[in-house]
């Protein structure tokens, strides 16, 4: 997530910098630094922002579970935590999902895959 995307999501969440800091459990100075591009947005902050944005979209309903959208085989589904916990719209949030045939061990590598996936894109782009 870059500074422009962070600012855009804060505005979509209809939060001031102070409110965003409270929501994310950080300082106003940190929020300002993220938006100015002076500080890299930490993984835990990125995940939380994406989660909040995704919940706005999920409230609209109509989201197909990832295993349906991706046409996963039964064998792949049964190895995947998204299917196990029935969170097909949060597959991008859950570590260990079986995307592209194997579980990704690192959040940033996982997000490289997720950013090109229709499940994640439909939650983030259309909100």
Per-residue pLDDT tens digits for 95-118: 888 888 788 778 888 888 888 888
Q: Provide the whole-model pTM.
A: 0.81
More confident residue, 45 or 104: 45
Among candidates 1, 6, 4, which has minimal Cα distance to 114? Answer: 1
Question: Residue 37: its pLDDT value, please?
Answer: 95
Determine the average pLDDT of the residues in 33-53: 94
Cβ atoms 53, 123 nearer than 8 A: yes
Give the SS3 label for residue 49.
helix
pLDDT at 126 over 60: no
Among candidates 106, 105, 94, which has minimal Cα distance to 67? Answer: 94
Q: At what angle do helices 3-12 and 43-58 cross, to 10 degrees?
A: 40
């Amino acid at each position: 997530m870059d500074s422009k995307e962070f600012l855009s999501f804060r505005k979509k969440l209809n939060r001031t910098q102070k409110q965003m800091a409270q929501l994310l459990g950080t300082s106003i100075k940190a929020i300002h630094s993220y938006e100015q591009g002076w500080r890299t947005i930490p993984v835990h902050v990125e995940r939380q922002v994406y989660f909040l944005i995704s919940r706005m979209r999920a409230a609209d309903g109509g989201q197909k579970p990832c295993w349906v959208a991706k046409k996963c085989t039964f064998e792949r589904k049964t190895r995947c935590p998204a299917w196990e916990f029935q969170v097909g719209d949060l597959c991008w949030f859950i570590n260990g999902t079986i995307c592209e045939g194997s579980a990704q061990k690192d959040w940033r590598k996982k997000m490289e895959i997720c950013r090109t996936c229709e499940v994640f894109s439909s939650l983030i782009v259309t909100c």
